[in-house]
Structure 1
Amino acid sequence: MVNDQPLVLSASVEHWPIAGTFTISRGAKTEAAVVVVELVQESVQGSFRGRGECVPYARYGETVEAVVATLDAAKSSLKRGLDRTALQRAMPPGAARNALDCAFWDLEAKRAGRPVHALAGLPAPAPRITAYTLSLDTPDKMAEAAARSAARKLLKVKLGGDGDVARIAAVRAAAPQSDLIVDANEGWTAANLEANLAACAAARVSLVEQPLPAGRDDMLATIARPLPVCADESVHDRASLGALAGKYDAVNIKLDKTGGLTEALAMVAEAERLGLQIMAGCMVATSLAMAPAMLVAQRARFVDLDGPLLLARDRANGLQYRDSQIFPPTPALWG
């Protein structure tokens, strides 16, 4: 745009303590390391700033250092006019593109004086019921955690170890009224898959996420699944949807996997066309990472955007959580 200055990108690493310890089948952590992108543009209308947040994930070969390096390398492309549309081709799906894509959306909204949902041609987002995650632990410890959260409408139960049949039974007994999602994080095997699925069905679990390792999940197409099974690690963007046929009933769409809101919204439409249920998921991060995902959540059967609830504190102007509901962001946060 004439008289506009080139976009200036900065990327910073932030460490947010987790309240206690967050444990899944692959291990435990006590903090969330996130990368925050800020895009600033000076124009004749004034100075505008857009932000995005991502979580580099070792499971996908990402590191904080590599993500920051990727973003730093994009500075020269921005000077040559890289925009959000071109970004989809210039950078592969993943955490780095997610942060930059979401920063572009935020900047566009600030410049236009219109919310992101309007720019995307979507209705205004409404509050949604979000899951609250229970970390993997012993059956007794998980039952105690479930009892403390039994008033919540939707609980996500981390499994993926020996003794999962006892764990899910203990959680169900402690939270008899809550809707339950189970996430095995690739932790089950061909030997225990059917027994664990049967235990989940007996416990009235509504959905099981990623029971088998990605790339070793063909067995899901050969058994009678007693409840819906959702792909997480087995699905990233639209290009990966085709491989799910016959194995999965739902997809967990996370912006750190899709590479941002742009691809996530396109992936929602394609997944719906294929007859797959939608789950809106997240990594453990602050409200800045959850805010764009609220637009995906509007089309989701299951919403799991509880990242800030797992932290010891959230950033300023964070999302509002009330009981089991999560509310859309204000422009002071994003969008």
Structure 2
Amino acid sequence: MQMKLLDQSWPIRGTFTISRGSRTHAKVVVVELHQGSYVGRGECVPYARYGESIESVLAELAPLAVQIEAGLTRRQLQSLLPAGAARNALDCAFWDLECKQSGQRIWQRLEIAEPAPLVTAFTLSLDTPERMQQAAIENAHRPLLKLKLAGEGDVERVAAVRAGSPDARIIVDANEGWDEALYLKMVPELVKLGVEMIEQPLPADNDAALEHLPRPITLCADESCHDRSSLPNIIGRYDMINIKTDKTGGLTEALALKAEAEKVGLQVMVGCMLATSLAMAPAFMVAQNTQVVDLDGPLLLAEDRQPCIAFDESKMNVYPAALWG
């Protein structure tokens, strides 16, 4: 078996802004595993918030070429690399290769039911209330909108979106941009505006305060939740976790995290970084039978790889085997 590494850049439709900055391109790393006539692929998004970059992920993966040629397995990989983007791409490439070599779809390999189409949230980038309202009007037909927030002015942003899309369900993502005082100010107003969930309101290293703060709206851990080792600090602070394969280090750990979270009574959201359909496909499997699906990455890109996941507006259809798994 041989490994090939690719770094790619995919243009975003316009500019995507969150509390930590703006981007015009989604930069990804793709791992290809070649064995005979079979090729397995996996895609990841290095994330600076976690100390990752295209260069650091390539540097993590490149030394494994010799071990892969010597027969490294997906199970051995789990303890060889930490949870994160690099392991995600390689883990998903292993799964894809297993499917192609066996002639089975991923759900057959996992011995679970064939997946069903999913309805994903659609993300509105952080902007002025006026521009976010216009974006809400343009996407008022979508059943679930996710708003990127930042701090001061957030009530005005949510109110503008609610006015622009009165019938949509709304969830919000603060990306660690609030403090306790702002949380206490924001939450009663968001209750009035019908917000159903708040994602990562406080910084991950300062979220213990959530143990004593009121939680009239479901709170979801994102930056505070990576893999199963995160769960002890999440119980009692959050009601839901956001599982992303780039955080868990692949489909293998994502499925294990989902099972463990459900066992301890946490709700599950499955999210994504800005990436192509190749990155969404493994997450699509994790997202089956979860409370919130946020896999709109390809909808935010100006173009997607082919073949890709077919979207009917916000509905994700089951993807072709030629894409992944």
How far apart are the structure 1 equivalents of 2:12 and 2:275?
9
TM superposition shift of 1:289: 0.3
Q: Is it true that 1:213 corresponds to 2:207 in the alignment?
A: no
Residue aligned with 1:34, SS = strand
Q: Aligned residue for 2:217?
A: 227
Q: Answer yes or no: is the 8 Å Cα contact 2:124–2:135 preserved in 1.
A: yes
The runs of at least 4 aligned residues of structure 1 exceeding 6 Å deviation read none
**Which of the residues 76, 92, 96 maps onto 1:86?**
76
How far apart are the structure 1 equivalents of 2:48 and 2:210?
25
Q: Is it true that 1:246 corresponds to 2:244 in the alignment?
A: no
Q: Answer yes or no: is the 8 Å Cα contact 1:268–1:299 preserved in 2.
A: no
Q: Aligned residue for 2:284?
A: 294
| Two-structure CA RMSD over aligned residues (Å) | 0.7
Identity %: 56
Report the more deviating stretch, 152-161 or 228-237: 152-161
Q: Aligned residue for 1:160?
A: 150
TM superposition shift of 1:221: 1.0
Q: Answer yes or no: is the 8 Å Cα contact 1:168–1:199 preserved in 2.
A: no
How far apart are the structure 2 equivalents of 1:133 and 1:56?
20
AA at the equivalent of 1:207: M
1:60-81: CA deviation from partner (whole Å, max 9, x where unpaired): 0001011011111111111222
How far apart are the structure 2 equivalents of 1:197 and 1:284?
28
Alignment of 1:7-22 (within 5 A): 7-22=1-16
Structure 2 gap segments, 5+ residues each: none
Q: Aligned residue for 1:3?
A: none
Aligned length, in residue pairs? 325
How far apart are the structure 2 equivalents of 1:285 and 1:121?
27
TM superposition shift of 1:202: 1.1
1:80-137: CA deviation from partner (whole Å, max 9, x where unpaired): 2210010001111000000000000000000000001111111111101100000011
AA at the equivalent of 1:254: K
1:112-166: CA deviation from partner (whole Å, max 9, x where unpaired): 0000111111111110110000001111111110110011001100001310011
Residue aligned with 1:143, SS = helix
**Which of the residues 131, 136, 146 maps onto 2:121?**
131
TM superposition shift of 1:299: 2.8
Q: TM-score, normalised by structure 1?
A: 0.96
Q: Answer yes or no: is the 8 Å Cα contact 2:28–2:46 preserved in 1.
A: yes
**Which of the residues 286, 302, 312 maps onto 1:322?**
312
**Which of the residues 33, 43, 46 maps onto 1:39?**
33
Q: Aligned residue for 2:87?
A: 97
Q: Is it true that 1:24 corresponds to 2:24 in the alignment?
A: no
Q: Answer yes or no: is the 8 Å Cα contact 2:151–2:182 preserved in 1.
A: no
How far apart are the structure 1 equivalents of 2:190 and 2:310?
31
1:190-241: CA deviation from partner (whole Å, max 9, x where unpaired): 1211111222211111111000000101121112211100000001000111
Q: Aligned residue for 2:271?
A: 281
Residue aligned with 2:75, SS = helix
TM superposition shift of 1:273: 0.5
Residue aligned with 1:191, SS = helix
Q: Is it true that 1:197 corresponds to 2:187 in the alignment?
A: yes
How far apart are the structure 1 equivalents of 2:205 and 2:278?
32
Residue aligned with 2:101, SS = helix
Q: Answer yes or no: is the 8 Å Cα contact 2:46–2:54 preserved in 1.
A: yes
AA at the equivalent of 2:236: G
Q: Answer yes or no: is the 8 Å Cα contact 1:37–1:103 preserved in 2.
A: yes
Report the more deviating stretch, 131-140 or 193-202: 193-202
How far apart are the structure 2 equivalents of 1:258 and 1:200?
30
